[in-house]
Amino acid sequence: MIAPGAWAKELVPGAAAHRVIPRRVVQGWYLAHRPEDFHPDRFGVFERVGDLNAYGFPSLDGATVKVGIKFETHPEIDDLGNVSRTVDPAFALRLADVVRVLPGLRPDPVSPQTGIEGIVADLVIDGASTRDIDFLAPERFEPASAK
Ligand SMILES: Cc1cc2nc3c(=O)[nH]c(=O)nc-3n(C[C@H](O)[C@H](O)[C@H](O)COP(=O)(O)OP(=O)(O)OC[C@H]3O[C@@H](n4cnc5c(N)ncnc54)[C@H](O)[C@@H]3O)c2cc1C
């Protein structure tokens, strides 16, 4: 079984490669005024269609809500090794339109930092993380006698 995701274009043979079109997905993370309102027990995955095409998710980190914008066709990515890391102002404006109709979210996007990148940022900026990261500690591989 080979599951190379967006890189399938480089791996699948011949004609099939032309049918693989990697596209860019643009999302933003927004702080909730009352994170408990967006807890998965109270708030589901949603999609809005019509005037604004967008979708979003409950808060998994207890602070932010992820919102994505849908385009008629998402922008194609020509070179998977050089994906742009900047957000086109048109995308930012579209996200701003969506967030305006989502009550309970602060309008400015924040850095996601919901996973490993958040922990790394904590370690770099604060020298420690408030999250339980013992399961990532390199020392966990040391024999008990060496500790
Ligand atoms: C910004 C963003 C947000 C998303 N948010 C959500 C969400 O909230 N919920 C949700 O359900 N889905 C979400 N998705 C979609 C979800 O991430 C994908 O559908 C899912 O990751 C696809 O899984 P996959 O295993 O098919 O491919 P991938 O997760 O892309 O995995 C493919 C793997 O193959 C590896 N690979 C490729 N070529 C080679 C090679 N030649 N040799 C070795 N390894 C190789 C890659 O490095 C990669 O690790 C999101 C996607 C994006 C881009």
In a domain, 16, yes or no: no
Q: What pLDDT score was predicted for residue 90? A: 84
Q: What pLDDT score was predicted for residue 67? A: 94
In a domain, 9, yes or no: no
Q: Distance, CA 70 to ligand 1 centroid (Å)?
A: 18
Looking at the fold, whether 95 and 128 belong to one and the same domain comes out as no
Question: Residue 57 belongs to a domain with what CATH number?
Answer: 3.30.9.10
- Residue of the nearest CA to atom 17 in ligand 1? 5
**pTM, 2 dp:** 0.71
Q: What pLDDT score was predicted for residue 114? A: 58
Q: What pLDDT score was predicted for residue 112? A: 56
Is the Cβ atom of 115 under 6 angstroms away from ligand 1?
no
Distance CA(6)–CA(86), nearest Å, equals 19
Looking at the fold, whether 124 and 70 belong to one and the same domain comes out as no
* Number of domains into which the chain is organized: 2
Query: Averaged in consecutive runs of 10 residues, what is the pLDDT profile of the chain (147 residues)?
Result: 87 85 90 94 94 92 90 86 83 89 88 69 86 83 75
- Residue of the nearest CA to atom 11 in ligand 1? 57
Relative to the CA of 24, which ligand 1 atom is closest?
53
